[in-house]
Structure 1
Amino acid sequence: MDMFQAMRVFTRVVDAGSFTAAAQALDLSTAQVSRLVSELENHLQARLLQRTTRRLSLTGVGSRYVERCRQLLHELDAASAEASGARLKPKGCLRVHSITGLGTQLLAPLASRFSELYPEVNLDLSLSQRHPDLLEEGHDVVITLARVLPDSELVGQHLGSTYSVVCAAPAYLEQHGIPQHLNDLSGHRCLRLVDPVFGDSWTFSDKGIERQVRPSETFQVNVAEAMAQAAGAGMGVCLLPDLIAAKAFQQGKLVRVLPQHRLHERGIYALYPSRRFLDAKVRTWVEFLKEEIPKAFSGYQTILETPSYWA
């Protein structure tokens, strides 16, 4: 027996005053309504209604039970409306994970604009240098970088593209010279950015042949922003993601060297569990990023591709 269905039928019988009127309101037969009420009474082992040929009346137990039924059914309807409405109106807590550099430089600034558009969504943004398990850790969306997404049951939406560039501080280049060719890097202090997405080797494509440069052990760090600070202080030549490098270029702290080379080209993806019954807060966040991220990276990459006399 469907308890909630039986409770609805019982409540409608009480409100309508008869089995026949309740059956018409519920589009059921009178026999079906009578049977459901009888099954409910048998399940409860209590008589809820006194039946005569002319009228129905509630027993003491029935009077108390119908009020409880009304409360439970009201809560059930409210919960159902809230769950259904989640597909229609962006609302509630949106848990997003991103790698640190992308989160601090891009997603955190965009969060303010998203909150203005969707004030009923509470954005919970967590950042780290690792790849989390989306389902086990309870994230709604994971923003990640990849050449190609691995096969999985997750949905992956492409949001844009990113790459890394070789750069150094103007003061360092004045003192040590500007590398013009890949072989010149052997005469420079190459700093190591330890990155779980890109790795720590520099792989160049030179005339169709891949060549690797292994950074020195002089200095290494696992956060791109820290590497930008160290290179800006004149420690050596480094490899930085475009969104980190562009800001340092604008500030005059770093300039690009070997500008003919792009490394670590990756796609930016939003991962989430399913397209089926997609929550409105997830849908609007992904659509927002699909529009905003390409615009942001277009600006960064314009800065990176602008020639300088250091190149």
Structure 2
Amino acid sequence: MADIVSSMRIFVRVVETSSFTAVAKENNVTAAQVSRAVTALEQQLRTVVLHRTTRHLSVTEPGGRFYERAKAILAAIDSATDEARSAGVSPTGKVRLHCAPGLAQSVVAAALTSYRNAYPDVFVELKIEQSMPNLVEEGYDLSLISATELPDSVYVAQPLGAAYAVMVASPDYLKRNGTPRTRDELSAHTLLMLESPVSPPDEWHIESGADAQIWKISKSPLQVNVPDVMRAALLQGAGIGTLATYTAVDDLVDGKLVRVLPHYRLRPFTVFAVYPSRRYLDAKVRTLLEHLRSTLSSSLNNAIERIEALARADSLRT
């Protein structure tokens, strides 16, 4: 294919200049090489495109028709090439982004809004699912997931920030059922289970400094796989559950939820950006990745700082 395209370019320029010599100078080759390229083209087409004499060149009838079609084909190839090259320079077009729930609603939506303000020529298609899709087969440019660690993969992964989950309940629930003061007292409470990539839903990896314990939930009235559903149930006083810092922070500050056993947290995890390849990263993907790295990192850190400041203030009051 590359040979015929090259021969087409040479033939088109020979027709336009009426000179093998002129085309040879343009391409820094000999006139004999230009002539051989045209001959090779004729052999591939099985027709004569140029009549040649020692003094004159003329286009045959089939050669004239081929010249017009070849010009259009070469223009399309050049246009496609320019478009592909510009994609690595100017952010434009559609980005398909996968994101885990909770993370999407809490911090990613705001980051995407500010990204679109900066790059209005980029359209972002966001898909929210708990498990990460096959990025290549399903046509995704980027995935945002939370995990304690990632399995070996051909994908490229960049950490964007850290977070952890906290145990929370509504003031109404705690008023009706009492506030647990130790981990052992959790067994007397209604514990709600949340499915996530970080840990099994029936295991809470509770830690405080060097003190760590896996709390097994033997019985629960509710198991959900979306943090927003868990949050809604907790706000309604359904029990004690776990929410990531970035999901729980506003409700904790507003007093709609209360942190249970505030000197404990669940095992920290990392928010990763995962994408298929680092080679020739498209400008829209590259700029979105850079934007997420800066905005998400600060949002995740801000949520942790607000929750820890709240815990310090509560500790001083008690």
The equivalent residue for 2:280 is 277
The equivalent residue for 2:38 is 37
8 Å CA contact retained: 2:148, 2:198 = no
User: How is 1:192-271 mapped onto 2 (pairs within 5 angstroms)?
Assistant: 192-200=193-201, 201-205=203-207, 208-215=210-217, 216-271=219-274
User: How is 1:171-190 mapped onto 2 (pairs within 5 angstroms)?
Assistant: 171-190=172-191
8 Å CA contact retained: 1:256, 1:304 = no
> By how many angstroms is 1:100 displaced?
1.4
**Residues 1:206 and 1:284: Cα distance change in structure 2 (over 3 Å):** closer
Question: Residue deviations 1:245-269, cap 9 Å, x none?
Answer: 1122233210112112121311111
State how far apart, in whole Å, the 2-side matches of 1:148 and 1:193 are: 19
8 Å CA contact retained: 1:228, 1:248 = no
State how far apart, in whole Å, the 1-side matches of 2:209 and 2:122 are: 50
Gaps of 5+ in 2: none
> By how many angstroms is 1:207 displaced?
6.7
8 Å CA contact retained: 1:180, 1:258 = yes
SS in 1 for 2:179: coil
SS in 2 for 1:100: coil
**Residues 1:302 and 1:206: Cα distance change in structure 2 (over 3 Å):** closer
Question: Residue deviations 1:96-154, cap 9 Å, x none?
Answer: 10111111222122211111111111101101112211111110111111222222221
In structure 1, what residue type is equivalent to 2:277?
S
Q: Identical aligned pairs, as a percentage?
A: 38
Gaps of 5+ in 1: none
Question: Residue deviations 1:40-99, cap 9 Å, x none?
Answer: 111111111111221211111111111111100000011111111111111111011011
**Residues 1:11 and 1:217: Cα distance change in structure 2 (over 3 Å):** same
8 Å CA contact retained: 1:145, 1:266 = yes
SS in 2 for 1:50: strand
Q: TM-score, normalised by structure 1?
A: 0.95
> By how many angstroms is 1:33 displaced?
0.3
State how far apart, in whole Å, the 1-side matches of 2:7 and 2:143 are: 43
State how far apart, in whole Å, the 1-side matches of 2:209 and 2:101 are: 34
State how far apart, in whole Å, the 2-side matches of 1:265 and 1:126 are: 25
> By how many angstroms is 1:157 displaced?
0.9
> By how many angstroms is 1:175 displaced?
2.5
State how far apart, in whole Å, the 2-side matches of 1:243 and 1:178 are: 23
8 Å CA contact retained: 2:147, 2:197 = no
State how far apart, in whole Å, the 2-side matches of 1:207 and 1:14 are: 80
8 Å CA contact retained: 1:249, 1:303 = no
The equivalent residue for 1:300 is 303
Structure 1 segments of 4+ aligned residues over 4 angstroms from their partners: 308-311
State how far apart, in whole Å, the 1-side matches of 2:157 and 2:245 are: 22
User: How is 1:8-47 mapped onto 2 (pairs within 5 angstroms)?
Assistant: 8-47=9-48
> By how many angstroms is 1:197 displaced?
3.5
State how far apart, in whole Å, the 2-side matches of 1:197 and 1:268 are: 10
Question: Residue deviations 1:1-41, cap 9 Å, x none?
Answer: 71000000101111111111110111111110000101111
**Residues 1:209 and 1:260: Cα distance change in structure 2 (over 3 Å):** closer
8 Å CA contact retained: 1:147, 1:267 = yes
Establish whether residue 170 from structure 1 lines up as the match of residue 171 from structure 2. Answer: yes
SS in 1 for 2:102: helix
State how far apart, in whole Å, the 1-side matches of 2:208 and 2:22 are: 84
**Residues 1:206 and 1:100: Cα distance change in structure 2 (over 3 Å):** closer
> By how many angstroms is 1:169 displaced?
0.9
SS in 2 for 1:178: coil
Establish whether residue 72 from structure 1 lines up as the match of residue 73 from structure 2. Answer: yes
In structure 1, what residue type is equivalent to 2:169?
A
Q: TM-score, normalised by structure 2?
A: 0.93
Question: Residue deviations 1:157-185, cap 9 Å, x none?
Answer: 11001110011111222222222211121
8 Å CA contact retained: 1:87, 1:277 = yes
8 Å CA contact retained: 2:208, 2:263 = no
In structure 1, what residue type is equivalent to 2:21?
T
State how far apart, in whole Å, the 1-side matches of 2:235 and 2:307 are: 16
**Residues 1:172 and 1:309: Cα distance change in structure 2 (over 3 Å):** farther
